[in-house]
Amino acid sequence: MAAPVRTLCSSVLRLSRRQFSTTCGVQGGEKWRKENGISKICLIGRSQTADQKQEREALARRIVMLSSEVDKGIETWNDKQEEAQRMEEHNKSLLLKPKGMMLIKNKSNS
């Protein structure tokens, strides 16, 4: 089963106009870091200043607050939609009930 798939893929790749590469790409700035003697570990291990931490914490709090407001708004909207549907059904049930002489005829027939 795998052989036909492999031959199909290779034939499709041969007919394709695009060139495919199986080598991994070079990370951005790798050549510059090597020339200047800077390792990846140095870039990854950067510490944040106190101001940056406070800004990130404030942003995180704001995101949580906005997210909870959105959730609350969605719940409120859903409640309003359900209430509107209940009112519509209630109004329909009032309209469909027989009134006046039709009500009296229905009671006498049953």
pLDDT digits (tens, 9 = 90+) for 4-44: 555 555 555 555 555 555 555 556 667 777 777 766 555 45
pLDDT digits (tens, 9 = 90+) for 66-108: 999 999 999 999 999 999 999 999 888 887 666 677 777 777 7
pTM above 0.85, yes or no: no
What residues have CB less than 8 Å from 56, skipping those under 6 apart?
48
- Helix, strand and coil content of the chain, in percent to the nearest 5, comes to 75, 0, 25
Closest by CA to 43, choosing from 58, 51, 57, 32, is 32
- The encoded tokens of residue 84 equal 């509107």
d(CA 76, CA 89): 20
